[in-house]
Structure 1
Amino acid sequence: MNNEHYDVIIIGTGAGGGTLANALAPSGKKILVLERGTFLPKEKANWDSTEIYAKDRYRTSEIWYDKNGKPVRPFTHYYVGGNTKFYGSALYRLRERDFEKVIHKGGISPEWPLKYPDFAPYYDRAEKLYEVHGKRGLDPTDPPSSEDYPFPAISHEPYMERIHYALKDRGLHPAYQPLGIKLNEVNRLFSACLRCDTCDGFACLVDAKADADVNGVRPAITYPNVTLMTEAKVLRLHTSRSGREVTGVETEITGKRQIFSGDIVVVACGAINSAVLLLKSANDKHPNGLANSSNLVGRNYMMHKLAFIVALTVRPKSIVYSKTLSVNDFYWGDKDFDYPMGNVQSLGTITTDRAAANGPSFVPKVIYKTIADRAIGWLLMTEDLPDPNNRVYVKGEKIYLEYTNNNEEAYKRLIKRWIRVLRSIEPRNDIGSLSLYLTTANMSLKDVGHQCGTCRFGEDPKTSVLDLNCRTHDVDNLYVVDGGFFPSSAAVNPTLTIIANALRVGEHLLERLK
């Protein structure tokens, strides 16, 4: 047993935990941050497509299982900063209607117990903390804001600019993606970002990505009251005899077990691993898992319905950073479809090395270069609807993901609609394509980058795991601060909402700690 007692223990350093540590650090309270991984090493491999994609250099070797017992190696990373070390830095606010009950073709997206105005001031703070670049007023689905983005939008390169104007000519409303990258286009001498082609899906060698490590944890640990322990895997939580408070955080550090205690314990391991930790912490007072009287811990797992479309152009194009364009004209439907469809955004640059790393090794590299020189990637995102049968659970030490696809018609319509849009702009401004569109649809269980929903928040302990402050209904000093609190997934990247919620909960905790 570790003799030191802390005011707050935070488990995990991703978008939720890293941001919360940053918010609480100036309070002077004694804070322990536990991270199962290390700091990501700075090395040339950070920007090496072969190391990242072909050799999975930084991806966990951990194995999970699907409902049939088939092994799944999740596409997740255990480092300070969590998966934000490798994210594309797209930091969207949920749309205002996303907080309401929404009828989809495939089911119902439930109403949130708090609404957009409750999150709006924390979105403002989140965008400042993560240095978001963007421009308001272009996207008709943009929620209201009292402030502009902290930094100007990342500009389109000439080829993407031509696509932008071609889309406008078709009556659409292309907008800039809200991006957390530290690029100063006015004065490159003061720019951390180099505007390179290894950003989306890569760790940043020069710390120019606004991630939970660089923008959250590192500033936090400059305070003497904040202690970060790396390579510290939390195994289970212990409670008092009444079961009403967490009294011990059992942790494995360099092969030895230690138990830490704190007035407040915050679980921020990501939606999947937070649910796993609660389930593995079952005891006599919580036989189905800690804080699981609702039987909802691990249930309603959502991960978004994602499709990748690659369009090949006739002539080679010159582009370095293509992840700047967003289209939400079909977010709430189309003229012949009265149900939400989703979001469209351009992807990071498809380079020769990246294409080769993701393709068969026997294909000559010149073929991959020919493809990369002509390829533009698009990410399409449709809402994944909550289903209690889509869940995370444990058997012994094994982690299982049980998942069945939903909302298929809206998803397929978005894919077909976007391909029609791309074909309609082919003749414009030398955008012309070969009408060849390669689509990777229905991401597999290993793709857990947008995980959410496993510990939903709400006012009723029978229908939610957490209260409105993300404290568990069943345990007085236990909070969950990651994507697990989402009642629905919406159809934009979840990271900014996780960050905003961490700032919101941080404000509540500061009041409680007084």
Structure 2
Amino acid sequence: MQPDIVIIGSGMGGATLAAALAPSGRRILILERGEALRPSAADRNAQAIFGDGVFRPDEEWLDGVGQRFNPGNFYNVGGNSKFYGAVMIRYREQDFAPIQHAGGKTPGWPISYRQLEPDYLAAEQLYQVRGKAGEDPTEPKRSGDFCHPPVPDEPDIIDLRRRLRGVGLNPASLPLAVDIDTWLAAGQHPWDGHPDTCGGKMDAETVGINSALEHANVELMTGCHVTSLTSDASGHITNVCYTRNGMQETVQAPIVVLSAGAVQSAALLLASANDNYPTGLANRSDQVGRNFMNHNCSAVLALHPWRKNRAVYQKTLMVNDFYISDGGGGAPLGNIQLLGKISGPILAAVSPLPRWLAGLIAARSFDFYAMSEDLPNPESRVTLRNGQITLDWQRSNWAAHEALVSKLKSCLRKAGFPIVLSQAFDRRTPSHQCGTARMGDDPNSSVVDTYCRAHDHPNLFIVDASVLPTSAAVNPALTIAALAMRAARHISETEFAA
């Protein structure tokens, strides 16, 4: 098939774009580096997933001082969404404007929440998001309701919600892309961090790729590692170069869409430097690879020694009382949501605790995820060192995150949990990487325009988390999907109109 569109990557951005464009009849080729996940004995085995890392690729990057580390990204059909917590939450309306944080001021977006709202709704409908409008005081205006009710709280989470309300918080249902009956039919385990091989999570493969492949004009090729893009003097992308089965191959298409993820998309653009673009493709602004953001995150465990938490999946509520401000009129702190239920093997795998003690703690813990915004910084960046990816993450706004964790701990103690523990996530946990090909109106300070088209290359679109101008303090999956919907509509109107 000679494609009209080549999409590099099958994660949330690429899969959603493919699904949105598939009904056009245009020939779409999706190149995916990995293979589709298949059911295995390790799918619901906490030790295998979190302790042995059987699904983590054998990959090393360099950090800012040249030390090697395993980044924990996944390469398979559906990308990282196959392991995601399935939280599909909108950025708040305030997130699109400049905001003063404790650690600095964000630049804002070149589009408003109102402009993206129809695409948020379309993405929620595509991914069958479960939720309930009106519970969260920070929720932005909606043009339509969720098409499914929220995933139900388990009995001990119902009690937790009551306790949180009792100390003045406003717990709300997490918007989730999970068919809980399908998920639990395959095993009584949480979905957060677990691979989806049963179709219980509405992830990029289960929904986006499978919807696209219902159309005969769409083809998915796996095992294709894209190594470079070539361009002519006018800036048009002329070839997509990739390896498959040890062979070098190329493909051409009038439209090329890069959706390989914040780090890999930036690395590919930098690796594609040529005489016309000596610093890398789409990099006239010198912004490719810069402004890397990775949420500041901590796990917070609340427990009472005489009470057990019998929840299986747990992850059904969030608290945004400290999202717009610190609760007293000060700078924002961030989002709080439940983690998937931590078990003894998971806790033992990520901590120095012996298995017996980890089991005792996990049986009694209610497990929270505290998330604060990481601010864009041009010196926080992805570069290549002799072809090796180097990620120099300059963490920012950490004081705000410490304040969020402190506030949460105080609230949990008041809610009846005398023991509250916390542990921050480090660079080995990819906590929503974004920002390396930022969106903007000015080609001198941004990489793509407001429809995700590269300023420097008229037939190149970048549709993944790399284009996010700010990280906000919520999970980015729905925003990535909404931007893909917006880009697909623009492509249809401008490239397919004739």
How many residues align? The count is 494
**Equivalent AA in structure 1 for residue 465 of structure 2:** G
Tell whether 2:381 aligns with 1:384: no
Tell whether 2:68 aligns with 1:71: yes
* Corresponding residue of 2:389: 399
* Corresponding residue of 1:436: 419
**Where does the alignment leave 5 or more consecutive residues of structure 1 unmatched?**
185-190, 427-432
Contact kept? 2:321, 2:327, Cα under 8 Å: no
Q: Distance in 1 between matches of 2:160 and 2:29?
A: 48
* Corresponding residue of 1:188: none
* Corresponding residue of 1:350: 342
Tell whether 2:14 aligns with 1:32: no
Contact kept? 1:383, 1:490, Cα under 8 Å: yes
Q: Distance in 1 between matches of 2:218 and 2:240?
A: 17
Shift in Å at residue 198 of structure 1? Answer: 3.0
* Corresponding residue of 1:329: 321
* Corresponding residue of 2:115: 118
Q: Deviations over 1:379-428 (max 9, x none)?
A: 001110000000001122100011222112211110100000001110xx
For residue 259 of structure 1, give the secondary structure of its aligned residue in structure 2: strand
Q: Distance in 2 between matches of 1:170 and 1:367?
A: 30
The normalised TM-score by structure 2 is: 0.97
Shift in Å at residue 243 of structure 1? Answer: 4.3
* Corresponding residue of 1:429: none
* Percent identity over paired residues: 40
Shift in Å at residue 360 of structure 1? Answer: 4.8
Matches for 1:137-152 after TM superposition, within 5 Å: 137-152=134-149
Shift in Å at residue 163 of structure 1? Answer: 1.6
Matches for 1:20-419 after TM superposition, within 5 Å: 20-183=17-180, 191=182, 193-194=184-185, 196-240=188-232, 242-315=233-306, 316-336=308-328, 338-360=330-352, 363=354, 365-419=355-409
Q: Are residues 178 and 399 of structure 1, via their aligned partners in 2, closer, same or farther at CA, if it must alter by over 3 Å?
A: same
**Where does the alignment leave 5 or more consecutive residues of structure 2 unmatched?**
none
For residue 148 of structure 1, give the secondary structure of its aligned residue in structure 2: coil
* Corresponding residue of 1:480: 462
Contact kept? 2:236, 2:459, Cα under 8 Å: yes
Q: Distance in 1 between matches of 2:169 and 2:460?
A: 46
Contact kept? 2:37, 2:197, Cα under 8 Å: no
Q: Once structures 1 and 2 are overlaid, which stretch shifts more, 135-144 or 315-324?
A: 315-324
Q: Distance in 2 between matches of 1:327 and 1:192?
A: 25
Q: Distance in 2 between matches of 1:417 and 1:379?
A: 13
Q: Distance in 1 between matches of 2:168 and 2:90?
A: 24
For residue 262 of structure 1, give the secondary structure of its aligned residue in structure 2: coil
* Corresponding residue of 2:444: 462
For residue 250 of structure 1, give the secondary structure of its aligned residue in structure 2: strand
Q: Deviations over 1:82-141 (max 9, x none)?
A: 000000001110000000111111101112110001111111111111111111111100
Shift in Å at residue 193 of structure 1? Answer: 4.6
Q: Distance in 1 between matches of 2:264 and 2:68?
A: 17
Q: Once structures 1 and 2 are overlaid, which stretch shifts more, 478-487 or 216-225?
A: 216-225
Q: Distance in 2 between matches of 1:61 and 1:243?
A: 38
Q: 1:19 aligns with which of 12, 16, 28?
A: 16
RMSD across aligned positions (CA): 1.4
Shift in Å at residue 222 of structure 1? Answer: 2.4
Contact kept? 2:116, 2:482, Cα under 8 Å: yes
Contact kept? 1:76, 1:449, Cα under 8 Å: no
Q: Distance in 2 between matches of 1:391 and 1:75?
A: 18
* Corresponding residue of 2:4: 7
Q: Deviations over 1:123-177 (max 9, x none)?
A: 1111111111111111100011021111101121121111211222222211011
For residue 43 of structure 2, give the secondary structure of its aligned residue in structure 1: helix
Shift in Å at residue 367 of structure 1? Answer: 2.9
Shift in Å at residue 359 of structure 1? Answer: 4.2
